[in-house]
Structure 1
C-alpha cells in the first residue's frame, strides 16, 4: 500500500512516523510543496492514501483535488496553529474532505473551534509514531477500495444538510464509492467550475447522482452525463415550487418567479432517469402537478432518516422527575404550526408543571414570542439554533419531542425531519395525523397523533404522556426500533444502492 506523505520539512518526529509506516509494510513517498498538485495527480492511480504532516496549506490543496485523487485523506496536527486567512480557507477545505484529522493533543481542538469547525466526528487524538496508525490507515484504504459501484455525487450542495450527510456516510459503508463534484460559487461561476471539475473525473464513475437541491443544476448534469453515456438519479426529495409558492406562500402562483420554479421542477423531472422523492404522497403530487403520468415508474421514494452517529439515545440525560419537558426544534415556518398549535397548547397547559423548549428562529418566531409574552407563558424557553450534535443533547433531556402541526397541503405529504430525529434519539413522539405520517408510523405504538391545527388535542396528548410514563416509554422504544431497522444511514443508503444498481444494470444491457 502506497502513501503520499506531504510535508514542508522532514523533522525527527516525521522521520519516526515514516519509519513506523514502512516497518508496517507501507511504501511511503515524500512530497514537498513543489509542483505538488501536478505530481499527485500524475501518480493518483498508484496512491492509496494521502497523509499530510502539519502543513495546513498542503492539506488544503490535497482536499481541493481529493475528488480527482479518489484516495483517503488524513491530516496530522502536531503543534498549535494560529490560522491566517489563507490557512483558514485551507482548513475549511480540509474539514470538508478529510477522512481523519489526527491531533497530538486534544487542546488543538480549540484551534478549529475558533473557526466554528467542529471536529467531533473527524478527530482522533493520537500521538505521533503510535502503532495504532497502521491499523487506521489499512482500514481507510480497504474501505476506499471496497466498492461495487462508483457514483458522481454532483451539484451545488450543502454536504452537512441532513440528507447529504446521511448518504455521504451511508453509501461508502454499502460499498458505493462516492466522488464528490461540488461547487457552491455564486451565480454562473458554479456552472463553469462544475464543468471543469467533472471533466477531470468523467471516466471514473458509473452513475451520476444530482444532490438535493439540484433543480437548477440538472440541465448541466444531463448534458455532462449524456455526453459520457451515463444515467442520472435526481434527488428531488420535494418540489421547490410546492415549498416556496404553495406552502410558505412567499410569492403568488401568478408571478414570474412562481412559474419559473414550476418550470425548474418540471424540467428536472424530465431530464432525470430516476427521480427520488420523500413519500408516496410526494410522488402523487409530482405526477399530478408536473404531468408525469407517463414517467410514474421513474419516480421512487426514499425517506430522509437521521444521522444516528450524532443523534442517538442517551439515557443518562433523560429527565428523572418533574418538570415534564417538551422539546421542539425548527425554522418557524407555517407548516410547523408554532404560531397557533404549539404555543396554543403551551397556553392550555400553563398551570401544569410542563416546560416547553423551543429551539430555532425563523418566519413566525417573533409572533410566537409575542404571544408567549402576552399570555405570560413563563415555562416556554426560546433557545437559539444549536449545532446538530448539541441538538441531540436537548432532545435526550426531554420527555417528549414534537413534530409538525400546521395545516398546509405540503404537511400532508411530508414526514418532517424532526420526526426521524426524535425516533433516532429514542424519545416519545407527538406529531400531526397526516397521510404521510400514517404511511410510516403506527398510532399508539410508536407515536401519538393529533388532528392538524388543533392545540387542544396536542395539549391533551402531552398531558396523557405525562400521566402515563409506561406508555411514554413504550412509544419511545418502539419508535427507536423502527428507526434502527429502516431509517438509519446504512438502511437508507442500502435502499439507494439498490436503485443505483437497477438503473446501472439496465444501462449495461
Structure 2
C-alpha cells in the first residue's frame, strides 16, 4: 500500500498526522509526504475570524501553498490513499480535486465550528459558515479519523459510517525523553504507599490556555498549595493566561515560561513528576483526550486530569482524576501526591507502561490501517 500524506500541516506544532504517518510506516506501508506548512496554527486561524479584513492575506498564502502541493503531487508516484493532515478543512477540498478516484483520509481532529465556539466565536453567521466548512470537508473524505467516540458522534449521520476512532498518541521523542522509574512500585491503598517525599513534587502544565484546557482552574488551585512542597512549571500563552496568573498570585513556587521550542519540550516535561491534563467544563473539554496527556504519559509522568468519559476510557486506572472545574479537588490531589513518593512512583510506572502498550504510533494507527485494508466496496456498503 502506498499512502501520500498531503496538506499544509505542521508536525512541529501539531504532531498528530506525523504519528499516523509513522505508524503506517511501521506496518509496512510506503508513506510519502507532500507538505507545505501554512505557518498559521489554530489560534492564528481563529484570530483571523475575529479580523475578517485579514482573510485575503490568508487566502493568498493558502493559494501559494496549494500551487506548490499540486505541482509536487503530480510529480510523485500515484498513491493508493491520501492522508490529509490536521487542520485540513481546506486541504481536503484540493486533495479531492487532484485525486478524484483515490481514497481520501481526513485527519479530522477538530471541528471548525466547535473549536471557534470554545474560543469565544459564537456569532450566528460565522458559526453557520464554519459548520458548512466542516460538512464540505467531511463530504470529501472517504475515511474520517477522529480521536474519541464523542467526536465521532459529532460527525453528521450521513458521514458517520466513514468515521474511525484513533487515539492521538505521542511521537517517539516523548518516549525517548522519559526518565526511568527506579523506586519500588507500590499500589495506592497499601499501608506502605504513604511516605514523606525527600524533595518537592515537580508538576508541569503546558498548553495554549484556551477554555478547553481550564488553566484558570489550575491557577485557582495553586494558592491552596502555598506552603506545600510542590513546584509548578506553567508553559505557554493564550487567551486565559492573564486570568490564570492572577488567580495563582498567592503561590510563589510557580515558574512561568511563555515558550519552549518543540524539540526541548519532551525533556522539560520528563523532568517533572506530574503532568497536568485539562480541567475545562465546556462541551469540548468533555469530549477530548488532549495531546498533553498522551505526551506526559509517554514521558513517564503521573497524569492528573479531569474525570471525563473519554479520558477514563483512554487512561483507565493509571491516571488520577478530579472533577472538571474543581480547583479544590485538584489542590487536594497534588497535596496527596506531594506527601507520597510511592504513590507518585506507582502512577508514573502505570502510566508509562500504558503509554508504551497503547499510545505508540504503531498502536494508535491500527484502526485506520484496518479501515484502509478493507476493500473500498465493502467500506461503501458499511
Q: Aligning the two structures, in what range does the TM-score lie when normalised by the shorter sequence? A: 0.7 to 0.9
Per the alignment, residue 208 of structure 1 pairs with: 82
* 1:273 equivalent in alignment to 2:142: yes
TM superposition shift of 1:184: 3.7
Per the alignment, residue 306 of structure 2 pairs with: 432
**Residues 478-504 of structure 1 deviation map (CA, whole Å, 9 limit, x = unaligned):** 111111111101212344322222255
**Residues 287-343 of structure 1 deviation map (CA, whole Å, 9 limit, x = unaligned):** xxxxx223322111111111133444213999x83222111111111111112x101
Partners in 2 of 1:173 and 1:187 — Cα distance?
A: 32
Per the alignment, residue 18 of structure 2 pairs with: 165
**Residues 339-368 of structure 1 deviation map (CA, whole Å, 9 limit, x = unaligned):** 2x1011111111212111111111112222
2:171 pairs, out of 298, 301, 307, with 307
Partners in 2 of 1:301 and 1:507 — Cα distance?
A: 15
TM superposition shift of 1:214: 0.8
* 1:224 equivalent in alignment to 2:86: no
Partners in 1 of 2:357 and 2:334 — Cα distance?
A: 27
More RCO (CA 8 Å, sep 6+) = 2
Partners in 1 of 2:226 and 2:74 — Cα distance?
A: 61
Structure-2 change in CA distance of 1:411 and 1:275 (3 Å): same
5 Å-filtered alignment, 1:335-350, equals: 335-339=212-216, 341-350=217-226
TM superposition shift of 1:389: 3.8
Larger radius of gyration: 1
Structure-2 change in CA distance of 1:409 and 1:153 (3 Å): same
Partners in 2 of 1:215 and 1:307 — Cα distance?
A: 23
Q: Could you list the runs of 5+ residues in structure 2 that have no partner in the other structure?
A: 39-60, 184-196
| TM-score in terms of structure 1 length | 0.64
Partners in 1 of 2:37 and 2:265 — Cα distance?
A: 26
Partners in 1 of 2:365 and 2:162 — Cα distance?
A: 19
* 1:282 equivalent in alignment to 2:151: yes
Per the alignment, residue 41 of structure 1 pairs with: none
RMSD value, Cα:
2.3
Partners in 1 of 2:165 and 2:375 — Cα distance?
A: 15
User: 1:169·1:489 contact (CA, 8 Å) conserved in 2?
Assistant: yes
**Residues 87-132 of structure 1 deviation map (CA, whole Å, 9 limit, x = unaligned):** xxxxxxxxxxxxxxxxxxxxxxxxxxxxxxxxxxxxxxxxxxxxxx
2:370 pairs, out of 498, 502, 506, with 498
TM superposition shift of 1:209: 1.3
User: 1:310·1:388 contact (CA, 8 Å) conserved in 2?
Assistant: no
Structure-2 change in CA distance of 1:461 and 1:507 (3 Å): closer
**Residues 140-197 of structure 1 deviation map (CA, whole Å, 9 limit, x = unaligned):** xxxxxxxxx1011111111332113323333222211112122346132223332222
5 Å-filtered alignment, 1:85-104, equals: none
Partners in 1 of 2:266 and 2:310 — Cα distance?
A: 24
* 1:254 equivalent in alignment to 2:138: no
TM superposition shift of 1:505: 7.6
TM superposition shift of 1:392: 2.3
Per the alignment, residue 208 of structure 2 pairs with: 331
User: 1:317·1:393 contact (CA, 8 Å) conserved in 2?
Assistant: no
